[in-house]
Amino acid sequence: MPGFELLGDAERRAVAQVMETGVLMRYGFDGARNDHWKAREMEAALARRMQTPYAHLVSSGTAALTVALASAGVGAGDEVILPTFTFVASFEAVLALGAVPVLCDIDDTLTLDPQAVAAAITPKSKVIMPVHMCGSMANLDALMALAERHGILLVEDACQAIGGTYRGKPLGSIGHAGCFSFDYVKTITCGEGGGLITHSKALYEKAQAYSDHGHDHIGNDRGAEGHPHLGYNYRISELHAAVGLAQLERLDTFLELQNRHYGILRKALEEEQGVTFRRVPEGGVENYSFLNVFLPDAQVARRAQAALQRAGVDGVFYWFENNWHYHRKWEHLKALKSLGPLPDAVERRIQECNSRDFSASDHWMSRNLSILVKLSWGEAALEKRALALQQGLREALG
């Protein structure tokens, strides 16, 4: 999965162009930059690739989520529905705006269960935020129907799923906004960076201002620009955008490699008794960054991971016991371990929402192993890995 595996001459040339000008900031210094605008170029390329009219780069995937939610009007006391299986950045972005993250059960897609979402919607609900974990998606038709029925927004957290599609549309482009991470371990990397896409001009205009202290970016004198509303600093640098632009141009190559490697690993496991696979919703095409399997129970899953570790197979994750990606280890959220006080009403609601029974999620996650798909494997390494996976799972299954 990680684009850093194939960093090369294209990325070095793009960075060198920025260094030759000495202009590392994405805004201003027009005369010195020799017409190099890497962030602008990457935004234009991302919008084309994602089939949306608007794209905006920021400093991280977390920043993209925060800016998208803020631009959607999310604020104090509003509720954002998100899955029990995600990265902590999803709820951090909600908390940063004074809003309430409402954890919600997943199903065998490893993403939001639409029935659980329907039960979680309240008059305070402002956004449904599906997280396309490990390269695949939720049932977006069902979630969009819920959003439209209740007059709320759908913001896609596609940070792990760039290149996947749903009914022919790129992931991230289906909802009111979509967010990507370009950090060091994503399919394409800026080192650190993120982006959001949208079909809404109004949301885009708010996002591009909010991420730069509220600058409206009208005119050629940065110091004279207006500030239509409050903002913060979530800017990306030209150096990071240069790397990302070069990587984005190689995205299709990366996806082809992931698809091929995924296919070989999956074929090796398809005949194994007791092994089933994550469900991809009808019309969905994942980006093949992870191969996700279910085993008969948690005990077998733990045995399988241990057997694979003994065999030297890296990149096999048991998210059920992971500190950063699954609700069971999020005591800092559930116990509200904040550096500063939170509003009483927000505290109460966070505790009400997130101390519920999530056994439906546990049913799936406790049986799941998630297998990273790398870009840099050669034929011999891939064959060796496929055989090791077969043997490790057979050992665990007895």
- How far apart are alpha carbons 364 and 378 in whole angstroms? 32
The closest of 20, 36, 86, 108 to 116, measured between CA atoms, is 108
What pLDDT is stored for residue 339 in this prediction?
95
- Extract the residue ranges of the chain whose pLDDT is less than 70: none
What pLDDT is stored for residue 256 in this prediction?
98
Residues 38 and 128 grouped into a single domain: yes
- How far apart are alpha carbons 349 and 70 in whole angstroms? 20
Residues 213 and 188 grouped into a single domain: yes
Residues 97 and 246 grouped into a single domain: yes
- How far apart are alpha carbons 239 and 15 in whole angstroms? 6
Tokens found for residue 26? 């994405």
92-150 per-position pLDDT tens digit? 999 999 999 999 999 999 999 999 999 999 999 999 999 999 999 999 999 999 999 99
What pLDDT is stored for residue 343 in this prediction?
87
What pLDDT is stored for residue 267 in this prediction?
97
What is the CA angle 73-76-78, rounded to 5? 65
Q: What share of the chain is helix, strand, coil (3-state, %, to 5)?
A: 45, 15, 40
- Mean pLDDT for the chain? 97
* Domain end point (choices 250, 274, 308): 250
- How far apart are alpha carbons 336 and 332 in whole angstroms? 6
Tokens found for residue 298? 């948690």
Domain count, the chain: 2
Alpha-helical (H) ranges within the chain are 9-21, 38-50, 61-71, 89-96, 114-120, 140-150, 201-210, 238-248, 251-269, 298-310, 331-334, 344-354, 359-365, 379-397
Residues 177 and 51 grouped into a single domain: yes
Residues 334 and 217 grouped into a single domain: no
Task: Kindly report the CATH number assigned to the domain that includes residue 164.
Answer: 3.40.640.10
Residues 208 and 283 grouped into a single domain: no
Q: What does DSSP say about strands 368-372 and 153-157: parallel, antiparallel, or unpaired?
A: unpaired
| 44 alpha carbon, distance to own chain's centre | 20
Residues 167 and 118 grouped into a single domain: yes
Find the domain containing 8 and state its range: 3-250
Q: What is the set of active-site residues?
A: 186
In contact, 39 and 45? CB cutoff 8 Å: no
Residues 148 and 239 grouped into a single domain: yes
Residues 30 and 71 grouped into a single domain: yes
* Domain end point (choices 234, 250, 266): 250
Measured on CA atoms in the order 270, 271, 276, 281, is the torsion positive or negative? positive
**HSE value, Cβ hemisphere, 13 Å, CA-based, for 311:** 22
**Is pTM, for the whole model, over 0.95?**
yes
- The percent of residues above 70 in pLDDT, for the chain, comes to 100
244-282 per-position pLDDT tens digit? 999 999 999 999 999 999 999 999 999 999 999 999 999
What pLDDT is stored for residue 1 in this prediction?
83
Task: Kindly report the CATH number assigned to the domain that includes residue 295.
Answer: 3.90.1150.10
Residues 323 and 356 grouped into a single domain: yes
* Domain end point (choices 250, 268, 288): 250
Residues 91 and 133 grouped into a single domain: yes
Residues 151 and 224 grouped into a single domain: yes
3-state secondary structure 291-357: EEEECCCHHHHHHHHHHHHHCCCCCEECHHHCCCCEHHHCHHHHCCCCCCCCCHHHHHHHHHHHCCC
| 49 alpha carbon, distance to own chain's centre | 17
